[in-house]
């Protein structure tokens, strides 16, 4: 009987971790390397104007997530339907990727593409609330770090395969695989259908083998407004009774925005500051996913041995050093970015994976959705930091008469990471949260 239970638990753990692999087409192909660059290309108008419009859409999506995340989290805790909502969000993402195929290279389809991008961003972030909240269901205190790191690592490996297939099968060849045409960007758009199939297939294990969370104590149904009132009361109580937990939410919001900035502006930095071609950017993306995946997996083992806070602090220190190295040695040429940029990616993985572990370790049972909702909200609340400091750094460099300003953007991201590192250093390694 014990062996059967252990086997069932192990199967649930692997099925949960595989969802990181399953959803990888969205962040890798849609948000970063393919769809985002496609709808900001000259197919649709002036790339500079389009990039700004995409930024506005991303900002609006961020505000929506910040407003809605905590309520979704609280309601999933009460109803015990985290898995159901994760699968519903998965279905929406699959539908959005299918719809993205129909965004042909015509200026009149730009709005359609931007709307899909914005909705997808909201759906993905909402899905993460329930996905992260399920972490305690499929782990034990002894293996939670390893499992989180494994899942994040699987996501990066999936990204590598997706980019390789995209590059070798559809982007580089004059005759793409399966007789796909290159006219009307068909060879690019078909990747979104491939992404949808990938996510649908690899989400099946989670649907079959991960149990649903038990529902919380039944209480009277509340309105959305009442949910927000409860949220604000909970934040006030958290500040009074569990200030260290609140300090972590704020500190992690800052440094996680720095982590996001590494990937958001990484491709731009390679292309503009170091002269990478489109193919070289994708090759770098493959390398970045390999290194980040290895870092996440290794960081998971380190987390279980030296502690979550130490793992995060060490990763942030590594990121700061690597970022300053990219700036200091930029004059050496592309090799500086291959070395320094990949070093940045090495430390991003463990910082990301250990951050969700930190939340899971101190969250009382039955309130995981609530706390991961707050985790998403605080992160979105400061999501302007990296873009703003990136832009400010470029502006100051230009004001100083420097022509090649792009490399100075990395300094803005480093500043965000340093602030987050200092704030994290002041957080208790094991915050206590009142279970009431």
pLDDT level of residue 249 (50, 70, 90 thresholds): confident
Cα–chain-centroid distance for residue 47? 25
Determine which helix (DSSP H) or strand (DSSP E) holds 90, and give its type and residue range: helix 82-100
| pTM reported for the whole predicted model | 0.73
Which residues contact residue 244 at a Cβ distance below 8 angstroms, ignoring those fewer than 6 apart? 427, 428, 431, 432
* CA dist., res. 265 & res. 48, Å (int): 15
Q: Residues 152, 168, 14, CA angle at the centre, nearest 5°?
A: 25
Residue 379 structure tokens = 């992160």
Cα torsion 119, 121, 124, 126 to 10°: value is -80
- Comparing C-alpha atoms, which of 294, 346, 375, 293 is closest to residue 129? 375
Q: Residue 96 half-sphere exposure, CB side, CA atoms within 13 Å?
A: 27
Mean pLDDT of the chain: 80
**3-state DSSP assignment of residue 431:** coil
Nearest to 359 by CA among 379, 345, 339: 379
Closest C-alpha among 353, 332, 375, 346 to residue 262: 346
CA distance 49 to 221: 46
Query: Which pLDDT score is estimated for 1?
Result: 43
Q: What is the pLDDT of residues 202-245, one digit of tens each?
A: 999 998 988 776 655 555 555 566 666 766 777 777 777 778 88
Q: What is the mean pLDDT of residues 77-100?
A: 85
Highest-pLDDT range among 11-20, 89-98, 165-174:
89-98
pLDDT above 90: residue 100: yes
As a whole number of Å, the end-to-end CA separation of the chain is 35
264, 290, 150, 413: CA torsion to nearest 10: -30
Per-residue pLDDT at 175 exceeds 80: yes
Higher pLDDT, 35 or 271: 35
CA pair distance 67, 376, nearest whole angstrom: 10
Place 324 in a pLDDT band, splitting at 50, 70 and 90. Answer: very high
Would you state the pLDDT for residue 130?
79
| pLDDT (tens digit per residue) in 352-411 | 878 878 877 777 766 666 676 677 667 766 777 777 787 778 778 878 887 777 788 888
pLDDT digits (tens, 9 = 90+) for 277-294: 767 877 888 888 788 778
Handedness of CA 128, 134, 136, 140 (dihedral sign): negative
CB within 8 Å of 149: residues ≥ 6 apart? 296, 297, 298, 299, 300, 301, 303, 349, 350, 353, 354
Residue 331: per-residue pLDDT? 82
Express each pLDDT in 410-424 by its tens digit: 888 899 999 999 999
- Calpha distance 99→112 (Å, rounded): 9
pLDDT for the residue 98: 95
Domains recognised in the chain with CATH numbers: 2-209+223-425 (1.20.1250.20)
Report whether pLDDT(425) > 70.
Answer: yes
pLDDT at 330 over 70: yes
For residue 147, CA distances in Å to 73, 136, 202, 369 come to: 22, 10, 18, 19
Give the separation between CA 276 and CA 286, rounded to whole angstroms.
14
pLDDT tens-digit readout, 30-48: 877 788 778 877 788 876 6
- Dist CA 33 CA 38 (whole Å): 9
pLDDT of residue 372: 67
Nearest residue to 378 via CA among 362, 355, 361: 355
Asked whether 304 and 142 are in contact (CB, 8 A), the reply is yes
Q: Quick one: pLDDT at residue 195?
A: 92
| Angular region, 434: left φ>0, alpha ψ -120 to 50, beta rest | beta
| Residue 119 in tokens | 């909705």
Contact 236, 429 (CB under 8 A): no
* Higher local confidence (pLDDT), 396 or 100: 100
What is the C-alpha to C-alpha distance for residues 304 and 201, in angstroms, rounded to an integer? 31
Residues 131, 152: Cα–Cα separation, whole Å: 12
Calculate the alpha carbon distances from 122 to 65, 117, 173 in Å. Answer: 6, 9, 34
């Amino acid at each position: 009987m014990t062996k059967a239970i252990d086997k069932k638990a192990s199967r649930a753990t692997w099925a949960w971790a595989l969802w990181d692999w399953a959803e990888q087409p969205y962040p890798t192909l849609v948000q970063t390397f393919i769809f985002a660059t496609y709808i900001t290309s000259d197919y649709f108008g002036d790339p500079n104007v389009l990039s700004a419009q995409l930024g506005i859409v991303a900002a609006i999506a961020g505000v929506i997530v910040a407003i809605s995340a905590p309520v979704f989290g609280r309601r999933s805790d009460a109803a015990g339907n985290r898995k159901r909502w994760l699968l519903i969000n998965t279905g929406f993402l699959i539908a959005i990727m299918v719809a993205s195929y129909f965004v042909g290279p015509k200026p009149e389809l730009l709005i359609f593409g931007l709307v899909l991008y914005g909705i997808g961003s909201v759906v993905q972030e909402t899905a993460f609330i329930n996905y992260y909240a399920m972490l305690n269901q499929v782990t034990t205190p002894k293996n939670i770090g390893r499992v989180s790191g494994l899942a994040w690592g699987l996501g990066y490996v999936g990204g590598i395969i997706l980019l390789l297939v995209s590059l070798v099968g559809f982007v580089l060849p004059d005759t793409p695989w399966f007789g796909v045409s290159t006219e009307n960007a068909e060879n690019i758009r078909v990747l979104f259908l491939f992404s949808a199939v990938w996510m649908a297939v690899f989400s099946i294990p989670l649907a079959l083998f991960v149990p649903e969370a038990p529902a919380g104590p039944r209480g009277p149904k509340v309105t959305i407004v009442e949910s927000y009132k409860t949220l604000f009361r909970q934040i006030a109580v958290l500040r009074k009774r569990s200030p260290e937990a609140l300090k972590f939410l704020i500190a992690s919001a800052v440094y996680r925005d720095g982590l996001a900035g590494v990937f958001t502006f990484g491709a731009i930095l390679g292309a503009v500051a170091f002269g990478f071609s489109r193919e070289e950017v994708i090759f770098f993306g493959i390398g970045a996913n390999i290194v980040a995946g290895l870092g996440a997996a290794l960081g998971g083992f380190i987390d279980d041995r030296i502690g979550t806070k130490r793992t995060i602090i060490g990763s942030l220190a590594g990121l700061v050093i690597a970022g300053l190295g990219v700036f200091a040695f930029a004059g050496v040429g592309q090799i500086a970015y291959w070395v320094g940029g990949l070093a940045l990616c090495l430390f991003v993985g463990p910082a990301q994976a250990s951050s969700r572990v930190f939340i899971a370790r101190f969250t009382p049972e039955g309130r995981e959705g609530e706390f991961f909702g707050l985790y998403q909200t605080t992160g979105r609340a400061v999501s302007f930091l990296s873009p703003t400091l990136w832009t400010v750094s470029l502006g100051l460099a230009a004001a100083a008469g420097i022509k090649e300003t792009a490399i100075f953007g990395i300094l803005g991201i480093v500043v965000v990471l340093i602030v987050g590192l200092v704030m994290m250093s002041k957080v208790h390694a094991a915050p206590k949260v009142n279970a009431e």
